[in-house]
Structure 1
Amino acid sequence: MSTQSFFQPVKLGRYTLSNRITLPPLTRQRSSQPGNVPNELMASYYRQRASAGLLISEGAQIEPRGQGYAWTPGIHTPEQIDGWRKVTNAVHAEGGIIFAQLWHVGRVSHTSLQPNGDAPVAPSAIPANQVSVFIETGPGTGTLATPSIPRALSTKEVKELVQLYAQAARNALDAGFDGVEIHCANGYLVNQFISAQTNQRDDEYGGSLQNRLRFLREIVQAVVGVVGPDRLGVRFAPLFASTDEARVYLGLVEEDPHTTYIEAINMLEAAGIAYLSIAEADWDNAPDLPEDFRRDVRNAFSGCIIYAGRYTATRGANILEANLGDLIAFGRPFIANPDLPARIAHGWPWNPLDPETMYGGAEAGYTDYPTYAD
């Protein structure tokens, strides 16, 4: 199939994107320490990939309690905001458009990553399983660890967190980002509120589906008040699989994911946000999204729809040609191929990914992948 469909302009909120290829949020753990501050190396990495129609930053924790992995960047201190400005300036110098992903891991954390060694926070005091966090063991060294048992947030604290998302959105605009994405996927905090598996609250944020969606609804309202709906995206990771097949870090399995996520998407449609990003399961033999779910997503949501998850150029073109999605995000391929849009346009081969250098480190496996012209 022709890849021409990738190179038709598309309207996303207030922006017109030059192509339909997206750099999705990719955790790389290269921020400067101490302080989890974005740096010149990160600016170079994003600059190299600025030919994407849309770039979305790696997750940036909205507050210190939101961190679940060592060396991930924050977006809550003046130093971090200044660091992100280096990134956005670099992308804009190449004519790119970049959104910041606002991230809070909730229970997927460890006491060593939390202020004062406290327990991580979550909707309910239910520990995360089938997932690891990454903690620092020394300068530039770390290890995988089991998440610590979380404590349940009070109702007052949940409302305070909504305002922390709004403040992070203000910080993102101050840093020069073109918009923000709320991370509601991969088993992290907002996902924990949505899922009945992890939300056993008896206040206004627990119980019914509408109550479990309340946290997301209030965050969307608060962030829209800062950036406007036309500069806001939301990311989900709906899983259609039995619990024993699921990898919790890729999303929490619902008894009825179709109903849960279509209801959430109806709420986003009412808010008028710019885009919806769907992260699909991407491990070997992972279940596919049902076609009826894709169709119902398209029918429910009038903004841009982004799909991500082990896409090839051909598979992505099929989604675009079928009008089931508007943009395709390439994760691992974009890590290894900074000029991925040109490679797709010309049918050039793709560099292989070095999995050993995905997380942490310096230039190796980060900014030293060659372009095809090299």
Structure 2
Amino acid sequence: MKNSKLLSAFNSQNLNLKNHVVMAPMTRSRAINNLPNNIMATYYSQRATAGLIITEATSPSKNGLGYINIPAIYSKEQITGWKKTTQAVHNNNGKIFLQIMHTGRIGHQLNLPKGGEVMAPSAIQAAGEVLTSEGLKPFPIPLEMTTTDIKQTQKEFVEAAKNAIEAGFDGIEIHAANGYLADQFLNKGTNQRTDNYGGSVENRTRFLIELTKEIAKEIGNNKTAIRISPYGVFNDMALYKEISETYYYLIEKLNTLDLAYLHMVSLSEDIPEGFLEDLGKEFSGNVIFNGGFGFDLERAEKVVFENDKNLVSIGFPFIANPDLVERIERGADYNEPNQDTLYTFGKEGYIDYPILETTK
């Protein structure tokens, strides 16, 4: 795909990248004891030919660590650990944003450090099970957050964003998708509050809009971004009548903040045809589209040609292809990922995939 727009430089007021290819955030469970480490730095630096890397979901607090061995960024030790990654990526001429995610009700007490609590907008248990140190366990009934809990959690997000900048990240992405805490506030199925953070569209979006404003105020609007998944049902999220209304209202409010980008996930079969495209046009800034583009490069090329503010994010192909951008450019075949090592603890299936020069 030589001379393609996908591989050309992307320049806007708030974001300048060497190409239109974004590495999507993907949990890989290598952060033993929730600490970023050397092999994580190697993993991300190997993939620095992407125009932008968005890291795996990273918790802003003890309460947000619902999964085993996901990273966090609320302690000095964690900040120091992440500096290894940002330095390695920047040394390879890459750019990297940290995705900040609080798991909310999607987690288990066994996975949280001492003092952590499983909490959510409402005390509604998610269907399904989660892996813990004692094997698979049903999701618990979360504690319903008080107003004090909400304000404290927003402060934790803001501190995490400041910590990310201290660690050398080029910006942060708020994870408000896929059924985690910020998405739980947006959704009527998981948010059945009767106060100012529940009920109406304005109230259900309040948590996310407030914390986005505070983060942008602290670290800069051009370093602040957000990820959403309209009509997504992952993690036992419900479909409800006001979905479109909720997200159009959210976009209207986000347009006042001049953010780095809006990242939209399209994994649901329930999304009305053309909805994400229309939502992207309503957003005044840069838009990253996600959903199968690594395996459909013609569609990816079409998306970036449609609008100068559009980019695409690619997830799964980056796992086994650290040199994915070069493979796209040369039309080379992709390595196949080792399914057995996606969430294991070592180097195998993580930083040992061959690059083109060593592939026969």
Band the TM-score falls in, shorter-chain normalisation: over 0.9
Q: Is the contact between residue 319 and residue 325 of structure 1 (CA under 8 Å) also seen in structure 2?
A: no
1:71 maps to 2:66: no
Q: Is the alpha carbon distance of 1:132 and 1:313 closer, same or farther for their aligned partners in structure 2, counting shifts above 3 Å? A: farther
1:53 to 35, 51, 54: 51
Quote the offset at 1:204 in angstroms.
Answer: 0.8
Structure 1 residues 248 and 207 mapped into 2: Cα distance closer, same or farther (>3 Å)?
same
Q: State whether structure 2 residue 326 is matched by structure 1 residue 326.
A: no
Cα–Cα, structure 1 residues 178 and 220, in superposed 2: closer, same or farther, change >3 Å? same
Equivalenced residue count is 356
Structure 2 residue corresponding to 1:174, chosen from 166, 173, 177: 166
Q: Is the 8 A contact 1:278 1:306 kept in 2?
A: yes
Instruction: Select 1:225's aligned residue among 196, 208, 217.
Output: 217
Q: How far off its partner does 1:345 sit?
A: 1.1
Once the two structures are superposed, the pairs formed by residues 308-323 of structure 1 within 5 Å of their partners are 308-311=290-293, 312-323=296-307
Match of 2:257 among 251, 257, 271: 271
Contact map agreement 1:99 1:177 (CA 8 A) in 2: yes
The yes-or-no answer on 1:247 pairing with 2:229 is: no
Flag the 1:314–1:325 CA change in 2: closer, same or farther, 3 A.
Answer: farther
* 1:306 aligned residue: 288
Q: Distance in 2 between matches of 1:136 and 1:74?
A: 18
TM-score of the pair, normalised by structure 2: 0.94
In structure 2, do the counterparts of structure 1 residues 3 and 191 end up closer, same or farther at CA, with 3 Å as the change threshold? farther
What's 1:84 paired with?
Answer: 82
* Residue aligning to 1:211: 203
Unaligned runs of 5+ in 1: 138-142, 241-245
- Indicate the residue corresponding to 2:140 in structure 1: 148
Q: Which amino acid aligns with 2:324?
A: L
1:41-76 alpha-carbon deviations (Å, 9 max, x no partner): 000000000000000111110001101110101100
Runs of 4+ aligned structure 1 residues displaced above 6 Å come to none
Describe the shift of the 1:192–1:3 C-alpha distance in structure 2 as closer, same or farther (beyond 3 A).
farther
What CA distance in whole angstroms lies between the structure 2 residues aligned with 1:57 and 1:293? 27
1:140-199 per-residue CA deviation (whole Å, 9 max, x = no partner) reads xxx333211101010111011111111001100110000000000010000000111111
Q: 1:294 aligns with which of 273, 276, 280?
A: 276
C-alpha separation between the residues in 1 aligned to 2:5 and 2:194? Answer: 48
1:135 paired with 2:105, answer no
Partner residue, 1:43: 41
Report the equivalent of 1:159: 151
What percent identity do the matched residue pairs reach?
38
Would the alpha carbon gap of residues 96 and 288 (structure 1) be closer, same or farther in structure 2, given more than 3 Å must change? farther
1:19 aligned partner: 19
Question: Please, what TM-score do these two structures have when normalized by structure 1?
Answer: 0.90
Per the TM alignment, residue 328 of structure 1 is displaced from its structure 2 partner at its CA by: 1.1
CA-atom RMSD, angstroms? 1.9
In structure 2, the partner of 1:260 is: 246
Kept after mapping to 1: 8 A contact 2:188/2:238: no
| 1:243 equivalent in structure 2 | none
Report SS of the residue matched to 2:54: strand
List runs of 5+ in structure 2 lacking aligned partners.
Answer: none
Q: 1:28: which partner in 2?
A: 28
What is the CA–CA distance in structure 1 between the aligned matches of 2:311 and 2:122, rounded to whole Å?
Answer: 35
Find the residue that maps to 1:248 and give its secondary structure.
coil
Select between 290-299 and 188-197 the one with higher mean Cα deviation: 290-299
Deviation at 1:114, TM superposition (A): 2.9
